[in-house]
Amino acid sequence: MGFRTDQIHAGVSPDPVTGGILTPIHQSTTFVQESVDGYMDRGYSYSRAGNPTVRALEEKLTVLESGHDTTAYGSGMAATVAVFLGLLRAGDHVVIGRVVYGGTYRFADQFLRKFGVDVDFVNASDLEAVDAAIRPETKLVFTETPANPTLDLTDLAAVSELTRKHDILHVTDNTFLTPYFQKPFELGANVIVHSTTKYLDGHNATLGGAVVVDSAELQESIAFARISAGLVMSPMVAWLTLQGIKTLSERMDRQSANALAIAEWLEGHPKVEKVGYPGLPSHPQHALANRQATGFGAMAWFEVAGGTEAGKKLMDSVPLWSLAENLGQVESIITHPVTMTHAAVPPEERKAAGITDGLVRLSVGMEDVEDLIAALEEGLEKV
């Protein structure tokens, strides 16, 4: 089936009792068993171990990512934590991209190290740097591409080839591009992480996460971490996410087209010093973006002439754009990573990663692009 067909139909079917076209919300903690000997004959016992509504979402994501299986979680961070808990133990070593979501950095820096796992943050765009960081005790390389918030790209095929050579795992966060634009398994990755909160939901309605794997062995390890730590997704969140995914391709197409138009406009504005968007020919990894993905996404960033204070003034005064921490929604959002999403990253690490104090991050929504540009123009006039 094609992607648009699968995003609507995969993993779901009419309710066998009523014929309801939408998957029922199985808002139940426990499931009654037929007998002691027939325990789990119906497939479910307790919603921390599994739930039919959540399972429908997991099956849909497995199809969309062309994976082996999926587990769903209460947040994107819960999904990332389950990967680390399920695949690492004290004495292991991990290599993580220097530019990743601030929560990923925080957990790796403040908790993995406390639990005896050694962590190296490296420039994941530099294959030689990744290779040099791998040791005999390294268990996995964790990448995020495009990376949050600088939109640096990782060559997924090259890193996957490297991890295969060292017989370790490649885990990658596919939140920004989703399986509609990027298929990491086809490029050799072993585990895909999603914050379903973002584009998969798309409507600012839920917190959720998912982990898609390429093997039964990985599924068993990560699912065991989920049930043990109680990192589960609720049935209502799964149901809402199922509805959001049905329009994923249409939203991604529109939002990405808007983002390109805005990035091109910003690049020519006299008060804008830098613009970052993989769809621009000026982006240093534009060729890689074309090679490993079918779209450029709806995230962009820029720096205003006048530095940090000018950027803050813009964000505080621009109309229409919501000053908030989320991304990937139908509403356009403007964010200051240094004080919001990446505040937990130490200043020296932010500087090394290229996350400057004046960086303005845009999550471009589905509004009329002329209105979004006019709002940015109004804000820039006040700078």
Q: Tell which residue, 49, 96, 103, 100, has the closest CA to residue 78.
A: 103
| The two structure tokens encoding residue 289 | 């973006």
Annotated catalytic sites, by residue? 48, 101, 173, 198
* Helix ranges, the chain (H): 3-9, 52-65, 76-87, 102-107, 127-133, 156-166, 178-181, 216-229, 235-245, 248-267, 286-292, 307-317, 347-353, 369-381
Q: Phi, psi (5° rounding) for residue 286?
A: -60, -40
Instruction: Kindly report the number of other CB atoms within 10 A of residue 176's CB atom.
Output: 26
Q: Phi, psi (5° rounding) for residue 300?
A: -145, 165
Query: Radius of gyration (Cα) for the chain, nearest Å?
Result: 21
User: Rounded to whole angstroms, how far apart are CA atoms 297 and 151?
Assistant: 10
On the CB side of 103, CA atoms within 13 Å amount to: 13
**Is 159 in contact with 170 (CB distance < 8 Å)?**
yes
Q: Which residues are registered as beta bridge partners of 150?
A: none
User: Rounded to whole angstroms, how far apart are CA atoms 126 and 16?
Assistant: 52
Relative orientation angle of helices 369-381 and 307-317, to the nearest 10 degrees: 130
User: Rounded to whole angstroms, how far apart are CA atoms 329 and 252?
Assistant: 10
Instruction: Kindly report the number of other CB atoms within 10 A of residue 17's CB atom.
Output: 7
Tokens 């062309």 belong to residue: 66
User: Rounded to whole angstroms, how far apart are CA atoms 192 and 236?
Assistant: 23
